Chain A
Amino acid sequence: GAGVSQSPSNKVTEKGKDVELRCDPISGHTALYWYRQSLGQGLEFLIYFQGNSAPDKSGLPSDRFSAERTGGSVSTLTIQRTQQEDSAVYLCASSPGPGGRGYTFGSGTRLTVV
C-alpha cells in the first residue's frame, strides 16, 4: 500500500484480556518494527523483523508480549493478560531494508486497558 496501515486505531480492553494489533507495512519493505509510546514520552523499541531472519525481540518488556510476521508482510503484535501499564500508543514502522534508511511509521494503535 501507499503507507503503513495499522488496525485498530483505538482499542479499549479490560484488564486481563488478550489483544491483537495489526500492521500492514509498505509493499516491498523487508524491515518491520514495533515501538511503544506512552503519553508525551519517547519511542520504546519492542521488536524488529528483517526478511526471513529471526526477529530481534530484545525490546519486548515481558513474556506477555509476542509478535509474528507472516509471509514477510503483515505483522501482528499480541499482548496477553493485559495490564493497565500496557496502555500506550503502539507504533509500527517499515523500511526498505536494514541500515541507512528512514522509517515510515503507521498512525498507531491507541491501547487503553481499563
Chain B
Amino acid sequence: GQQVMQIPQYQHVQEGEDFTTYCNSSTTLSNIQWYKQRPGGHPVFLIQLVKSGEVKKQKRLTFQFGEAKKNSSLHITATQTTDVGTYFCAGRNSGGGADGLTFGKGTHLIIQP
C-alpha cells in the first residue's frame, strides 16, 4: 500500500533559525496536504498542493510539491516560538482508505529560545 515517509522525526532549532521538513511517497500523488498540531492540540489544516512543481507561501512558510508529485517539503524561515508543534504531510492517491489520504508520522519541531 501507499507509504508516506517524513524526515526528520525531530528537529531542534534555535529561535530565528530556519526549519525544513521533507515528505516522500512511495507512489505518485494526486495532491498533498500539510497539517500542524500544537502540543496538546489537534491537527489543523494548513494547505493543499495539487500541481507538479507547485510552490505556495503563507507568510514565513513555504510549501513545495515535487515535479514527480512524489515528494514535498515545508520550509519555515526565521522560526518563532509559536511555530512549535508537529507538522504532518498527508498524501492522496487515486485509491485506498480514508479517501486515499495517507498521513506521514510527522516532524516534531522544538524551538530553543
Contact = CB atoms under 8 A, between A and B. Distances in A.
Contacts, number: 60
Interface core residue of A33, A40, A58 (most chain B CB under 10 Å): A40
B99 A104 contact: no
Interface in B56-113: 88, 92, 97-106, 108
A106 B99 contact: no
B104 A100 contact: no
A28 to B, nearest CB: 17
Interface residues of B, number: 25
B42 A98 contact: no
A34 to B, nearest CB: 9
Contacts of B103: 35, 42-43, 45
A77 interface: no
A interface, how many residues as a size bin? 20 to 34
Nearest to A41: B105
A114 B87 CA distance: 31
Interface of B: 30-31, 33, 35, 41-45, 47-48, 50, 88, 92, 97-106, 108
